[in-house]
């Protein structure tokens, strides 16, 4: 495999060596590829690309594609797509070599030695990971995407190669088994097509969608394709009339423009029918028109001329020139009512906008001198860097992929900060999403918001043009409930990262208390354990660190008694520790936290006799000693621990009461007033059927302790209409004395 075999003359196919004798169809592919390279690469770069082709062909020699052709046709097709985007020699070499690490014995080091470190890094970024033993397909797929997207964050050429690779695979998918075709097509719709859209590769985005639709839903594709062909004939005259009218109206207004009619893609029509529950006959705008003018001001002049020609549809105008999409796309969109009531969707843009709309981030290579691309490059770089942030905040590859999928579907909600800055957010976003879009600290400390100068709930869905002010508090923290309604990947990942970090810290603190308790029973003190004992335990158990062991104890993944016994091996107990043995219980400092939970079945409050149970994955769960639920758990002896309320415990706890009262007007108001007089808040209220003489009311109240609850009950007994009061637990009431 001599890289010097490639001729330097451009009038011959430089990638074909004299001894290869490729098939006629491959020779034609090579000739077309070389013709593209000759339009923008230097002769020495063409020689390097030729060497990569010879190397790849030799490495794949004897390998065939499922379709029956020689394997080299695939990397050649990928490289040809990249040449159409005018990518550099490094990217083209990587495209030709992108499968050699995965399918042959060639290593990254060999590629780096032969073709340079840059090409080797690109090939490594595109190559799949080796399957990890016992790993499911979904986990392996998620890990592959994680690696690929992070490599893309370092060099966007990685994803351009991968997208070109997926395009050719989709174009030759017919040779695959039906179930594999559907899986690959679904993966393309979920991941690769949205990435192409996010990078502004509009033409590639549409083609991937069409190919994926054809293979994922072949019957629907055929039926819809037939319906569109029929409609095409019926509407040809109408479309021709609209085109002629536009081509006459624009020059009459002094506007020089290139006007093209285009048929909407099948997948776009299908998605509109599916999402809006429409029949094909109801989807009238299957034709669109694109108008390309000389500059930005002329776009708005053309818009005015068209609105004078045909009636615009209210609410269907979008100005993506003033506020570009996240992928850099700029155009004016409007829908007009043409002849016979036919809707006509119009896109108006200038030539530079058209380049970006069709090629997106690839325009960086195609049109290097265009100053209009600076903003697109900044946006792309910002998005790529956000992937690195998502990775650091995500727990595993599956969670990372979930965040990226959310982020890949660009939103169309534009809101304003109090200072007038515009933020683009996913459709359905809330003020919490905006808070995290501004800064992580703003999101973490967010407590309330004002939308258009009115105080609104944080779960309010934002609309285009809203002015949103975020209100923060220094000691606030993210609420787990936010995960139920935030839409952006950034907000979701930051909330999870905060909760996971807090969970780990609280679990470690609880684990330390539990282990100290267990060690005291053995006559040992945690603080005085020698470092050798911890090192010995970590080696034997495979634990990462002492803090990790404590967190696992707090989460119930390790039993404190067993850890204590292993740590105690070879360690002598001290007299002081022996004297303290068994005298102290685990103290409960306050209301429910992350690592310590109060049982929902019995709702213990300070003053109630309590017991603790370590449950795997839940940490320490506290119950009242007579809770009916713990009777089923008596067999878990090793998991029970002694717990007590701290003497000066503070905070509000929830307690439930049942009130039977006479069914008279105003009784609920008088009971609520009695609860308020006793210094309590009502968290929840419900009632049984009130058709009789008496009605049963159920209250969940906030109390400080058992004495406070007794004071509330005494206050309610003074209400004349109250017949009976009980505290109830798990639907089984206990009468208060």
Both structure tokens of 319: 């100005």
Question: How far, in Å, CA of 581 to CA of 577, rounded?
Answer: 6
- From the list 12, 25, 28, 102, the catalytic residue is 102
Give the DSSP letter of residue 594: S
Among the listed residues 100, 47, 105, 104, the one whose alpha carbon sits nearest the alpha carbon of residue 78 = 100
Both structure tokens of 446: 């967010």
Among the listed residues 203, 198, 193, 200, the one whose alpha carbon sits nearest the alpha carbon of residue 81 = 203
Residue 416 main-chain phi, psi, to 5 deg: -115, 140
Is the dihedral angle over the CA atoms 548, 553, 555, 556 positive or is it negative?
Answer: positive
Question: How far, in Å, CA of 608 to CA of 406, rounded?
Answer: 46
Q: CA distances (Å), 681 to each of 447, 675, 676, 711, in order?
A: 20, 7, 7, 14
Instruction: Please give the angle made by the CA atoms of 249, 253 and 254, to the nearest 5 degrees.
Output: 120
Q: CA distances (Å), 409 to each of 291, 326, 420, 554, in order?
A: 26, 10, 25, 39
- 102: annotated active-site residue: yes
- From the list 12, 25, 28, 103, the catalytic residue is 103
Both structure tokens of 457: 């709930």
- 44: annotated active-site residue: no
Question: How far, in Å, CA of 335 to CA of 313, rounded?
Answer: 6
Whether residue 163 contacts residue 192, with contact meaning beta carbons closer than 8 Å, is answered with yes
Is the dihedral angle over the CA atoms 581, 558, 645, 727 positive or is it negative?
Answer: negative
Give the DSSP letter of residue 513: H
User: Pairing relation of β-strands 258-263 and 287-293?
Assistant: antiparallel
Among the listed residues 608, 592, 620, 646, the one whose alpha carbon sits nearest the alpha carbon of residue 727 = 608
User: Pairing relation of β-strands 311-312 and 318-319?
Assistant: unpaired
Q: CA distances (Å), 328 to each of 49, 191, 200, 436, 672, in order?
A: 31, 19, 7, 22, 57
Q: Write the Ramachandran bin of 445: left for phi over 0, alpha for psi from -120 to 50, otherwise beta.
A: alpha
Both structure tokens of 458: 């944080």
The per-residue b/e assignment along 179-189, b for 16 or more CB within 10 angstroms, e otherwise, is eebbbbbebbb
Q: CA distances (Å), 348 to each of 201, 238, 292, in order?
A: 18, 20, 6
Question: How far, in Å, CA of 276 to CA of 283, rounded?
Answer: 10
Residues recognised as catalytic = 102-103
């Amino acid at each position: 495999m001599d890289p010097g075999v490639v001729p330097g003359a451009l009038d011959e196919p430089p990638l074909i060596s004299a001894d290869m004798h490729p098939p006629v169809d491959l020779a034609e592919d090579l000739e077309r590829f070389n013709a593209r390279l000759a339009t923008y690469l230097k002769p020495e770069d063409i020689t390097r690309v030729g060497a990569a082709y010879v190397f790849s062909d030799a490495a794949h020699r004897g390998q065939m594609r499922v379709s029956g052709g020689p394997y080299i046709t695939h990397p050649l097709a990928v490289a040809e797509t990249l040449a159409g985007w005018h990518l550099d020699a490094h990217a083209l070499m990587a495209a030709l070599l992108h499968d050699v690490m995965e399918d042959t014995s060639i290593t990254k080091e060999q590629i780096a030695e032969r073709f340079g470190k840059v090409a080797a890094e690109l090939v490594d970024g595109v190559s799949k990971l080796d399957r990890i033993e016992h790993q499911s397909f979904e986990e392996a797929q998620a890990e592959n995407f994680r690696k690929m997207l992070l490599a893309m964050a370092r060099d966007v050429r990685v994803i351009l190669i991968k997208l070109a690779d997926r395009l050719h695979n989709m174009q030759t998918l017919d040779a695959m088994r039906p179930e594999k075709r559907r899986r690959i097509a679904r993966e393309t719709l979920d991941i690769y097509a949205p990435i192409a859209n996010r990078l502004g590769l509009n033409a590639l985005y549409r083609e991937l969608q069409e190919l994926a639709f054809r293979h994922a839903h072949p019957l629907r594709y055929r039926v819809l394709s037939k319906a569109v062909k029929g409609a095409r004939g019926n509407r040809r005259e109408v479309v021709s009339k609209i085109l002629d009218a536009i081509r006459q109206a624009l020059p009459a207004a002094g506007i020089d423009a290139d006007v093209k009619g285009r048929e909407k893609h099948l997948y776009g029509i299908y998605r509109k029918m599916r999402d809006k529950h429409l029949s094909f006959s109801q989807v009238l705008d299957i034709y669109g028109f694109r108008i390309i003018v000389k500059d930005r001001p002329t776009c708005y002049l053309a818009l005015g001329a068209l609105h004078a020609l045909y009636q615009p549809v209210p609410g269907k105008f979008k100005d993506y020139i003033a506020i570009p999409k996240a992928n850099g796309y700029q155009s004016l969109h409007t829908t007009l009512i043409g002849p016979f009531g036919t809707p006509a969707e119009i896109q108006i843009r200038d030539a530079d906008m058209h380049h970006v709309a069709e090629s997106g981030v690839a325009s960086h290579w195609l049109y290097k001198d265009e100053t209009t691309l600076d903003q697109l490059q900044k946006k792309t770089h910002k998005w790529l860097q956000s992937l690195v942030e998502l990775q650091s905040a995500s727990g595993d590859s599956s969670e990372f992929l979930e965040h990226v999928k959310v982020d890949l579907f660009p939103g169309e909600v534009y809101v304003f900060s109090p200072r007038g800055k515009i933020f683009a957010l996913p459709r359905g976003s809330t003020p919490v999403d905006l808070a995290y879009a501004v800064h992580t600290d703003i999101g973490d400390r967010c407590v309330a918001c004002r939308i258009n100068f009115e105080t609104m709930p944080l779960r309010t869905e934002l609309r285009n043009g809203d002015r949103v002010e975020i209100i923060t508090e220094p000691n606030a923290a993210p609420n787990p409930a936010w995960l139920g309604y935030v839409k952006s990947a950034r907000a979701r990942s930051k909330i999870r990262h905060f909760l996971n970090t807090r969970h780990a810290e609280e679990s470690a603190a609880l684990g330390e208390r539990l282990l100290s308790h267990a060690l005291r029973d053995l006559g040992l003190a945690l603080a005085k354990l020698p470092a050798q004992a911890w090192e010995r335990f970590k080696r034997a158990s495979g634990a990462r660190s002492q803090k990790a062991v404590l967190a696992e104890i707090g989460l119930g993944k390790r039993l404190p008694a067993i850890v204590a016994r292993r740590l105690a091996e070879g360690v002598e107990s001290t007299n002081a520790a022996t004297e303290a043995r068994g005298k102290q219980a685990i103290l409960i400092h306050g209301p429910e936290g992350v690592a310590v939970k109060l049982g929902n079945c019995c709702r213990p409050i300070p003053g109630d006799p309590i017991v603790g149970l370590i449950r795997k994955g839940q940490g320490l769960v506290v119950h009242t000693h007579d809770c009916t639920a713990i009777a089923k758990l008596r067999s878990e002896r090793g998991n029970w621990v002694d717990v007590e309320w701290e003497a000066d415990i503070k905070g509000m706890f929830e307690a439930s009461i049942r009130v039977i009262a006479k069914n008279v007007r105003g009784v609920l108001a008088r009971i609520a007033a009695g609860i308020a007089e006793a210094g309590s808040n009502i968290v929840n209220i419900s009632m049984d059927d009130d058709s009789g003489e008496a009605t049963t009311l159920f209250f969940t109240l906030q109390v400080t302790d058992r004495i406070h609850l007794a004071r509330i009950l005494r206050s309610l007994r003074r209400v004349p209409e109250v017949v009976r009061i009980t505290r109830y637990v798990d639907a089984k009431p206990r009468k208060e004395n």
